[in-house]
Amino acid sequence: MQESSLLLEWIQVLHSYLAYIVLVLLFLAVANAITGLVSNRMFTMGKDLRLSLFTLILSHIQLVVGLILWFISASGFSAIKTLGMGGMNSAARLLAVEHPFVNILALALITIGWSRHKRFMEGKKKFKSIALFYGLGLVLILSRIPWAQWFN
């Protein structure tokens, strides 16, 4: 019993700290894309590609860790099974439903932005795709972070 509790705690800590890294990378990727778009510079295979790709990869890892946490924690899937959708308060609904759903949607947008940028040859279009879709993903993620838990 203690091993599963320890595992759950470890996954929660990983999910929390990885979230900080993903948010910083998303901010950097969006800011880089906006500055590249405004300055009309070439999309480089070095900094621009690596920053966008690393952000995409870590975002997907964060999603996998979050889904594992959602399935094994009491505030995720089991809360929906036990309480049903009507029996949850707003904090439980945020963790069990809104946070995972909106973040999956945000990650889909980030993935679309990455896929679209690969179709373009022109740097301006590449930056525009990343700025738009990564930016929308960032806004969605920020809207569903359980801030009360982060600041405790």
Q: H or E stretch including 141? A: helix 123-143
Per residue in 46-102, pLDDT (tens digit) is: 899 999 999 999 999 999 999 998 888 766 666 555 655 566 666 777 777 788 899
Per residue in 14-50, pLDDT (tens digit) is: 998 999 999 999 999 999 999 999 998 998 888 999 9
> CA 19, 24, 29 angle in degrees (round to 5)?
120
The total of other beta-carbon atoms located within 10 Å of residue 7's CB is 12
Per residue in 89-136, pLDDT (tens digit) is: 667 777 777 888 999 999 999 999 999 998 888 888 999 999 999 999
53 Rama sector, left if φ>0, alpha if ψ -120 to 50, beta otherwise: alpha
Torsion angle defined by CA atoms of residues 37, 42, 51 and 27, in that order, rounded to the nearest 10 degrees: -10
Q: What share of the chain is helix, strand, coil (3-state, %, to 5)?
A: 85, 0, 15
For 132-141, letters b (16+ CB in 10 Å) and e give bbbbbbbebb
